[in-house]
Structure 1
Amino acid sequence: MMIPRPVYSALLYIAAPFAMFYLSKRAKKQPEYSEHWDERFGTAHYPPVTPGRTRIWIHAVSVGETRATFSLVESILRKWPQVDVLYTHMTPTGREVSKQFGKKFGSRISQVYLPYDTPAAMRKFIRQTQPSLCLLMETEVWPNLTYTAKQAGLPVVLANARLSQQSLDKGKKVGSLIRDAMSRLTLTLAQSEEDAARLKEAGCREVRVLGNLKFDYEPNPVHVRTGREIRKLSERKILTFASSRDGEEASMLSALKEAKANGRLKDTVFLLIPRHPQRFGEVLELIRKSGFTVEKRSDIRDWKKVLSLSEGPDVVLGDSMGEMAFYYALSDVVLMGGSFGDYGSQSVIEPCAIGEAVIVGPSIYNFKYIIEKAREEGAILSVQDLGQALQRADELLSDSGKAASVGAAAAKFAQVQRGAAERTIAVIDELMAQKKDTNLNKFNAETMEKK
């Protein structure tokens, strides 16, 4: 199906009422979706660049993409004192994560929502914010964004880029719309050779392989230390289902009930952490209806009691944000959410970096290269279903030496993969050097006004 960009743009304008309905619906579970609509629909006054300074615009759709930029952004701000960073996001959680991260840098980091990809909104956003360079994280390539940036002379880099075969096939269905958007990118920095090949097929012109920025993310050391100290107090083993997705929890709870009925996972507490905070209440009800006793992380005041054999619950619900490093360090074995439903898996990088034994299911297309490479090195275990996952978990929990061996291999694997942030900095330096003026007028604002 061929969709020309003008037709795509017209459809976006027509879809505006549906977008409002969607945001209103999401706001019922997550009130933050009712805020900053003017930014989303292009009617806001976007933050202007500070006179005499250079702005790098980073678009990171949500939490994972945002955290992946932290090491990179710290290096940018350290290397170029005259540079500020403007984050754009699509989710409230992504925005909050960058806001918290930005506090230690004062006014040098700011954040807004990316406007929906209409021509008028994109022209206004770029004209008012005046970035010198745009970094799009992972997969976020929008036709009007790349078109407007090209017209403005704004370099756009797809950083930490990945593209699954499924996404490539979907993109082909809209004809030249996505291919043209990809071809307008100044540079694409792929995570792997496999990603690079698919990105070139999708339309990207210049592609370099730099590795995955997420390996350079440093887990919060206080959270890691606290999790490990609490684990020492536990009278039970801790099995974690991390970043679970809709539909996975019910299946996992059913499999857990069967495993316990068959004598597996004795003296084990199950830590369940949903991927999306708006589903905390829904998952809590699922746990209760499954017949398990449950304690919410937000209600815990005495971890020693919660992890005791006599008084602790069957399940702990991880209903907090920004504590994944704590949860992983607390765990003996981690089951990775998103890999047991058709979601392509959530990121295995952070638990590997912390040195945890990780088990993934059959759906891994978002992290296929990383997971397969880690599996080859004994750093990750793969299974075909939840029943097998709990059986392997039981084996690891019963053999602390085996679990420690897998965890050590995972930590070594993660350490070897580091370095993408440094390589990305070199590319940014190269792009900056191509500009005679690295301060402000990277494009003709008057021309943008007329377009």
Structure 2
Amino acid sequence: MRTPLIARTYRTITAALEPGVIGLLYWRRRKGREDRTRLGERQGHPSRPRPKGHLVWVHGASNGETLSLMPIVERLTQRGLSVLVTSGTRTSAALIARRLPPGAVHQYVPLDVPRYVRRFLDHWRPDLALVAESEIWPNTVFALDERQIPLVMVNGRMSDRSYRRWQRLPRAIRTLLERFALCLAQTTEDAERLARLGAPRVFVTGNLKFDAPPPPADPRAVAHLSGLIAGRPVWLAASTHPGEESAAIAVHRALAKRYPNLLTIVAPRHPQRGPEVAALAAQAGLRAGRRSQGMPPDRATDVYVVDTIGEMGLFYRLSPVVLMGGTLAPVGGHNPIEPAKLGSAILHGPHVHNAAEIYAALDEARGALMVKDNAGLARAVSELLGNAALTRAMARAAGEAVQALGGAVDRTIQSIEPFIVQAKLGARR
């Protein structure tokens, strides 16, 4: 398929901007947003040798997308294929390092600059590429097409906001989507939007996140912390953003008289904000401890700040009540499936458009409850902490709702089976 003019223009512009991209990378490194020891990977330089044999490239942008792909990665390695997993954030790299099965390796995805993409593909030479959700990078899409490497979108998403934005560039998005061998969408709405934008082969397979295993936790750590907080009412504000930590602290102060031993756990979405969150608690007259400093939540701790990576499995197991962050702040909501699978009653704010289907299912099953503001959050937390039977009923309903929505991994594997066979044969499209 001939590379269209719009693609050649984009390629020329991004190539010309490469010096600025290098400057951006080094700025991000200074800010702690890039891994200092692996910055070359973002420019397509490999830090590991390519495994022998046939290889599938699997890409997810960040934590949730990449973790949802782990069952697919496991299935592929079980079929005898090597798997390269890429992501774009430091937190996702840290999480993935602990969960990759034998036969899979992780690299940071190269930025969408022609030379970086070419260098990356020259080294890894994938036989098949799977990208999660809405990762559509033009230079990468066209480079795969030119090399006749099949490209499949899995767990595909096309939000209403993204759909409206792409409608302003109809020829550009059609040119890109036509180069996907297959688009596997989470919902009927996602599939319809992708089809209207020009994807020729679209199927609904469901959301992979419903099938992802819950995050692990060291049983010894669970037992140790459970002993430290035994007898205390505990709740968790997870994956929080600015403004939501203040809400959690305000709730703690409002409930302190009724629950004098209350422990509020706050896990900011970006762990580097730990000092900021602890300072907010101190300004409110509360005693804060930070996980990153090795401080356990002793009896004097009011607010415990979890500013570490890869420990949410531990703290979901300790917290019967969880507020999911990104829902009181206008972010769009983070994935509530993990706490649902680990036995928590879930609270959330009104901003859930990034995961509307999941929250709707949980709300309908009465496994989750929406709160509109700080006052509503305080009332809900107070009621759940004071009513263990209600909390257990909500947690059970949440777990059952998530389980009922599973099956996307099997449907995805069935859909990409012809491409898996091609990859194992080393065949090209």
Q: Which residue of 2 aligns with 1:446?
A: none
Q: Which residue of 1 aligns with 2:40?
A: 38
1:292-311 deviation per Cα after TM superposition (whole angstroms, max 9, x unaligned): 210112345655xx2xxxx3
Pair 1:218 & 2:213 matched: yes
Q: Which residue of 1 aligns with 2:349?
A: 361
Q: Which residue of 1 aligns with 2:318?
A: 330
Distance across 2 between alignment mates of 1:397 and 1:18: 52
Within a 5 Å distance, the mapping from 1:113-132 to structure 2 comes to 113-132=108-127
Pair 1:169 & 2:146 matched: no
1:92 to 90, 93, 114: 90
Query: Could you say what secondary structure the match of 2:367 adopts?
Result: coil
Aligned residue type for 2:6: P
Deviates more, 1:273-282 or 1:406-415: 273-282
> How much does 1:174 deviate?
4.0
Distance across 2 between alignment mates of 1:420 and 1:177: 30
Query: Could you say what secondary structure the match of 2:195 adopts?
Result: helix
> How much does 1:109 deviate?
1.4
Pair 1:188 & 2:174 matched: no
Q: Indicate if the aligned counterparts of 2:341 and 2:402 stay in contact, CA closer than 8 A.
A: yes
Distance across 1 between alignment mates of 2:197 and 2:374: 34
Query: Could you say what secondary structure the match of 1:85 adopts?
Result: strand
Q: Which residue of 1 aligns with 2:9?
A: 7
Query: Could you say what secondary structure the match of 2:35 adopts?
Result: helix
Distance across 1 between alignment mates of 2:22 and 2:260: 49
Q: Which residue of 2 aligns with 1:282?
A: 276
Distance across 2 between alignment mates of 1:199 and 1:386: 38
Pair 1:144 & 2:139 matched: yes
Distance across 2 between alignment mates of 1:117 and 1:281: 34
Cα pair distance change 1:35/1:69, threshold 3 Å: same
1:263-300 deviation per Cα after TM superposition (whole angstroms, max 9, x unaligned): 56553211000111222233222332333210112345
Deviates more, 1:138-147 or 1:21-30: 21-30
Cα pair distance change 1:230/1:252, threshold 3 Å: closer
Distance across 2 between alignment mates of 1:148 and 1:302: 50
Q: Indicate if the aligned counterparts of 1:264 and 1:391 stay in contact, CA closer than 8 A.
A: no
1:347-380 deviation per Cα after TM superposition (whole angstroms, max 9, x unaligned): 0010111121001111111100111122111121
Q: Indicate if the aligned counterparts of 2:289 and 2:296 stay in contact, CA closer than 8 A.
A: no
Within a 5 Å distance, the mapping from 1:228-239 to structure 2 comes to 230-231=225-226, 234-239=230-235
Distance across 2 between alignment mates of 1:319 and 1:297: 6
Q: Which residue of 2 aligns with 1:66?
A: 66
Q: CA RMSD in A?
A: 2.6
Q: Which residue of 2 aligns with 1:241?
A: 237
Runs of at least 5 residues in structure 2 that lack an aligned partner in the other structure? none
2:194 to 196, 199, 209: 199
Q: Which residue of 2 aligns with 1:292?
A: 286
Distance across 2 between alignment mates of 1:30 and 1:188: 34
Query: Could you say what secondary structure the match of 2:61 adopts?
Result: coil
Runs of at least 5 residues in structure 1 that lack an aligned partner in the other structure? 444-451
TM-score w.r.t. structure 1 length? 0.86
Distance across 2 between alignment mates of 1:187 and 1:271: 43
Cα pair distance change 1:398/1:300, threshold 3 Å: farther
Q: Indicate if the aligned counterparts of 2:14 and 2:114 stay in contact, CA closer than 8 A.
A: no
Query: Could you say what secondary structure the match of 1:179 adopts?
Result: helix
2:424 to 438, 446, 449: 438
Q: Indicate if the aligned counterparts of 1:149 and 1:156 stay in contact, CA closer than 8 A.
A: yes
> How much does 1:392 deviate?
1.0
Distance across 2 between alignment mates of 1:168 and 1:84: 34
Cα pair distance change 1:248/1:23, threshold 3 Å: farther
Aligned residue type for 1:95: A
Distance across 2 between alignment mates of 1:176 and 1:299: 52
Aligned residue type for 1:86: L
Distance across 1 between alignment mates of 2:292 and 2:117: 40
Cα pair distance change 1:260/1:159, threshold 3 Å: same
Query: Could you say what secondary structure the match of 2:65 adopts?
Result: helix
Pairs aligned (count): 424
2:362 to 374, 377, 389: 374
Q: Which residue of 1 aligns with 2:77?
A: 77
Query: Could you say what secondary structure the match of 1:57 adopts?
Result: strand
Q: Indicate if the aligned counterparts of 1:29 and 1:278 stay in contact, CA closer than 8 A.
A: no
1:111-170 deviation per Cα after TM superposition (whole angstroms, max 9, x unaligned): 222211123332332232111111101121111211111121111111111222122223
Distance across 2 between alignment mates of 1:27 and 1:363: 31
Distance across 1 between alignment mates of 2:266 and 2:304: 6
> How much does 1:332 deviate?
1.8
Within a 5 Å distance, the mapping from 1:43-62 to structure 2 comes to 44-45=45-46, 49-51=50-52, 53-62=53-62
TM-score w.r.t. structure 2 length? 0.90
> How much does 1:227 deviate?
3.6
Deviates more, 1:31-40 or 1:418-427: 31-40
Distance across 2 between alignment mates of 1:385 and 1:154: 49
Query: Could you say what secondary structure the match of 1:64 adopts?
Result: helix
Query: Could you say what secondary structure the match of 1:4 adopts?
Result: helix
> How much does 1:328 deviate?
0.6
2:18 to 16, 19, 28: 16
Distance across 2 between alignment mates of 1:177 and 1:65: 25
